Structure 1
Amino acid sequence: MQKTDLKNLSLRETKDLFLELGEKEYRGEQVFNFIHKNMETSISKITALSKTLRDKLEKNYTIGDISILERYDSKIDDTKKYLFLLEDGNIIESVAMKYKYGTSACISTQVGCRMGCVFCASTKEGLVRNLTPGEILSEVYNIQKDLNTKLSNIVLMGSGEPLDNYENVIKFLNILHNSKGQNFGYRNVTLSTCGVVPKIYKLADEDIPITLSISLHSPFDEERKKIMPIGNKYKIEEILAACYYYIEKTNRRVTFEYTVINGVNDRKEDLEELSRILKGLLCHVNLIPLNPIEEYNKTKASGNAIKEFKNGLNQNGIATTIRREMGSDINAACGQLRRKYVKG
C-alpha cells in the first residue's frame, strides 16, 4: 500500500488526520510546523511526538521529498540551476536568481508541458504528469536549505502551465502562505500562464493577491496561434477580459510577458497593436530576449531593437522593462537543461 505524503496536507487536513488517529488536534499543528517551517523530511525526527506515535505514523505515512541531482552555477552572475530528481525517477528543474533585494526562485509545476509553445524547450516531449503540492513545496525548501537563505520571491514560471495543474498549485500556495509554515507573502508570488481563460477567472475568485503574468508574445490572434497553440482556443480579447476581471477582484497589476523574436513580433505594427490593446489596463510589459532552441529556427531581436520596442511602449503610456538575461551560460531558460540531461 502506498503511503500518504504528509507534505501534501493542509494544516486543517493534518489536524484532522491526528483526530482520526485518536490524538490531540495540536499534534497535527506540531507536525505541520515540523514539515513546513523547519523543512524537515523524516518522521523519526519529530521528537515532539512520542516514539510510539512516530512508529505508528511511519507505517502508513511519509514526508515526501525530492533530491538535488545536479546544480549548475553561472560564472556570469549568481544564478544557480537545479535539476531535481523526483521519487518516481522523473526530473524537473528550478532556477535561483540573486538580486539586490534578495533571492528569487523560478519553479516548475509539471513534469513537461502540453501547451506546445514553439520557442519553449519544456513542452517538446509533452506533459508527463502534474507535480503534487508537496513536490512543488520541495523545490522551494531544497533551494532554501541549499543556499541557506529565505527566498524573497517565487515565480511559477518553470516547466509546466500552472493553471493546467490548478488544484495542486492553489494548495501549494495556501500551504506556503500558512503562518504555521513558511508564512510566505502572496504578494511575493508570481504565477505565469499562457492564457487559460476560465482558470484566470477562477484564480481571481480565490482571493489570493498574487501577481498574474500572461505569456502574450503577439498582439495579433493569427500570429499568436502560430507560436502558441492555446491561441486556437482563447482569443486575445478573451484573455484581456479575464485580466480586467482579475485586476478588479485583486487590485493587482497584471504583467505581460513578451518574448521578442526577430521579424516575428518586433515590427512597427506589433508595437502599435500592443499599445492599443493594453491602453488603460493596469499592467506592465516584460520584454524577454528569445532563448534560441534547436527546434525553433528564429533568432532573438537585437538589443537595440528591443530597446526601441520598449521606448515605443513607454511613449504610448505602457510601463515596460527588459528582463535581464541570467544564467545564459548554464542553460537557465526553462526546460533546456532537463531536456539536455534526459536526452543524454
Structure 2
Amino acid sequence: MERITRSRDIRLLTLEELQDLVKELGQPAFRAKQLNEWIHDKNVCSFDEMTNLPAALREKLSERFSFNVPVELVKQVSKDGSRKYLLQFSDGVSVETVGMPNRNKLAVCISSQAGCAMGCAFCATGLAGLSRSLTAQEMVDQVLHVARDFGERVTSVVFMGQGEPFANFDATVQALRILNDPDGLAIGARHLTVSTCGVIPGIRRFAELPEQFTLAISLHSAIQGTRNQLMPGVKKYTLLRLHEAIQLYVEKTGRRPTYEFAMIDGINDTSPEMQALVDFCAGTLCHVNLIQLNNIPDSPFRPSPIEKVESLQRRLTMHGVETTIRNSRGSDIDAACGQLKQRRFRAQ
C-alpha cells in the first residue's frame, strides 16, 4: 500500500527557516538550535523523540510537518553479517540498500535511482527498467536507515546500488555533500565513492568538484564490441573517449580512479580480453577491482573460474597496475553487485 504524505518534511528546512518557524510559534530562539540538533545531529525520525522540547510544541510541529523517512518493507541478513533492505518512499517507489560491517567500520551501498535505464546484460537491476531518480535526501535516508539499524556510525558510502548516479548528477552531488558535511554525518570525501557505467559528461563534471570524492568506473571489458554487448546503455561513450575523460580526471584531481571488472566465463576472461585490459590500464594511474560475476537467476552468464581471475590479477600486477580481487559481500541474499532488483523477498 502506498503511503501518502502531504505535510512538508521538516528535515528540508534550513537553520534560518527553523529560526523563523520557532519565532512564528512564539518559542524562544534557542529552540531552533535544539530542533536542528535533533534533526541533523541525532537523526531522529519523529517529534516524540525530541524529549527536551515541550509536548505542546511537538504537537504543533507534527500538525504541520512530517519525517518522510523510508519504510523498511523487508530486511535480509547475510551469513557474512551484511544486511539488505527493501526501503519504500512516500510515493510507493522502493529501492534496495546494503549495509556491510567490517570490524569497527560500516560501509553502505546505496541506490541513486529506483531501477536503472542502462540495461547492462549481466545486472539484475536493469531488467525492470527505470522508475525514477531519487532526491538527495532519499539517498541520504538510506545511509541513515542503515546507521540506525546497526546502531553504528557509517564510515563509508558507495553509490553502487540501483541506478546510474551520473544520470542523476545534481542530486548525487548534493547527497555527497550532505554526507561529507562536518556538521552532519562527517564522512570523509575519500570514503564516498560514486560508480558510473562510464557517462563521460558526468566524469568531466565530477573532475571539476573541489571535494576529493572517489570515482569508480564499471568497465567490464576493454574491447569495444564486448563492452557494447554487456553495457548497451553506454555504447555512445566509446572506450577511446572514456579513456581520454578518465585521464583528464586524473590530471585535474590527481586521484586514482577504480575500474570495476566483473569476470564472466567465456565472455571477458579470454586472453585477448585480458591483454586489452592490461593495455587500457598500463602507464596510467588506476586501480582495478576484479570481481567474480555474481550469479543472477535465469541469466545466461556465469562467473569466471577463480583461476582466471587470479591469472588476470598477476598479468595486471606484472605491468604495474594496482589490482585487487574483491570479496563480494551478501551474495547469499542477492545483495552483491549486480544482484539488486527490488524483489519482495521473504524475510529471514
Q: TM-score under structure 1 normalisation?
A: 0.89
Whether contact under 8 Å (1:81, 1:95) holds in the other structure is: yes
Whether contact under 8 Å (1:221, 1:231) holds in the other structure is: no
Query: Kindly tell me: are residues 293 and 30 of structure 1, through their superposed partners in 2, closer, same or farther at Cα, counting changes over 3 Å?
Result: same
Whether contact under 8 Å (1:15, 1:27) holds in the other structure is: no
Q: Which moved more, 1:49-58 or 1:202-211?
A: 49-58
Whether contact under 8 Å (1:33, 1:181) holds in the other structure is: no
Query: Kindly tell me: are residues 243 and 326 of structure 1, through their superposed partners in 2, closer, same or farther at Cα, counting changes over 3 Å?
Result: same
User: Are 1:172 and 2:175 counterparts?
Assistant: yes
1:6 aligned partner: 10
Partner letter of residue 39 of structure 1? N
Match of 1:140 among 139, 143, 147: 143
Match of 1:104 among 107, 116, 119: 107
User: Are 1:187 and 2:190 counterparts?
Assistant: yes
Cα drift, residue 235 of structure 1: 0.9
Whether contact under 8 Å (2:124, 2:338) holds in the other structure is: yes
C-alpha separation in 2, matches of 1:29 and 1:312: 57
Cα drift, residue 245 of structure 1: 2.3
Partner letter of residue 276 of structure 1? D
Whether contact under 8 Å (2:328, 2:336) holds in the other structure is: no
Query: Kindly tell me: are residues 251 and 30 of structure 1, through their superposed partners in 2, closer, same or farther at Cα, counting changes over 3 Å?
Result: farther
C-alpha separation in 1, matches of 2:160 and 2:132: 16
Query: Kindly tell me: are residues 307 and 129 of structure 1, through their superposed partners in 2, closer, same or farther at Cα, counting changes over 3 Å?
Result: same
C-alpha separation in 2, matches of 1:269 and 1:331: 31
Cα drift, residue 153 of structure 1: 1.4
Whether contact under 8 Å (2:219, 2:259) holds in the other structure is: yes
Whether contact under 8 Å (1:91, 1:338) holds in the other structure is: no
C-alpha separation in 2, matches of 1:28 and 1:265: 57
Partner letter of residue 333 of structure 1? A
Query: Kindly tell me: are residues 31 and 240 of structure 1, through their superposed partners in 2, closer, same or farther at Cα, counting changes over 3 Å?
Result: farther
C-alpha separation in 1, matches of 2:31 and 2:209: 29
- Give the 5 Å matches for 1:1-344: 2-7=6-11, 9=12, 14-18=14-18, 21=21, 23=23, 30-46=34-50, 54-75=58-79, 77-100=80-103, 102-334=105-337, 336=339, 338-341=341-344
Query: Kindly tell me: are residues 178 and 256 of structure 1, through their superposed partners in 2, closer, same or farther at Cα, counting changes over 3 Å?
Result: same
Partner letter of residue 41 of structure 1? C
Whether contact under 8 Å (2:122, 2:338) holds in the other structure is: no
C-alpha separation in 2, matches of 1:46 and 1:297: 52
Partner letter of residue 234 of structure 2? G
Cα drift, residue 82 of structure 1: 1.7
Whether contact under 8 Å (2:328, 2:337) holds in the other structure is: no
Q: Which moved more, 1:298-307 or 1:241-250?
A: 241-250
| Deviations, residues 146-183 of structure 1 (Å, cap 9, x unaligned) | 11111221111011111111122111111122222111
Whether contact under 8 Å (1:43, 1:57) holds in the other structure is: yes
Tell me the number of residue pairs that the alignment of Structure 1 and Structure 2 aligns.
Answer: 338
Cα drift, residue 20 of structure 1: 5.2
Whether contact under 8 Å (2:22, 2:32) holds in the other structure is: no
C-alpha separation in 1, matches of 2:293 and 2:189: 29
Cα drift, residue 198 of structure 1: 0.7
C-alpha separation in 2, matches of 1:228 and 1:337: 17
Whether contact under 8 Å (1:32, 1:181) holds in the other structure is: no
CA RMSD in angstroms, aligned pairs only: 2.4
Partner letter of residue 107 of structure 1? I
Partner letter of residue 325 of structure 1? S
| Deviations, residues 114-144 of structure 1 (Å, cap 9, x unaligned) | 1100111111111111122222112111111
What's the % identity of the aligned pairs?
Answer: 36
Partner letter of residue 18 of structure 1? L
Whether contact under 8 Å (1:18, 1:25) holds in the other structure is: no
Query: Kindly tell me: are residues 27 and 254 of structure 1, through their superposed partners in 2, closer, same or farther at Cα, counting changes over 3 Å?
Result: farther
Q: Which moved more, 1:239-248 or 1:310-319?
A: 239-248
C-alpha separation in 1, matches of 2:72 and 2:21: 34
C-alpha separation in 2, matches of 1:289 and 1:131: 29
Cα drift, residue 72 of structure 1: 1.4
Whether contact under 8 Å (1:32, 1:180) holds in the other structure is: no
Query: Kindly tell me: are residues 131 and 269 of structure 1, through their superposed partners in 2, closer, same or farther at Cα, counting changes over 3 Å?
Result: same
Which blocks of at least 5 consecutive residues in structure 2 are unaligned? none
C-alpha separation in 1, matches of 2:265 and 2:341: 26
Query: Kindly tell me: are residues 33 and 241 of structure 1, through their superposed partners in 2, closer, same or farther at Cα, counting changes over 3 Å?
Result: farther
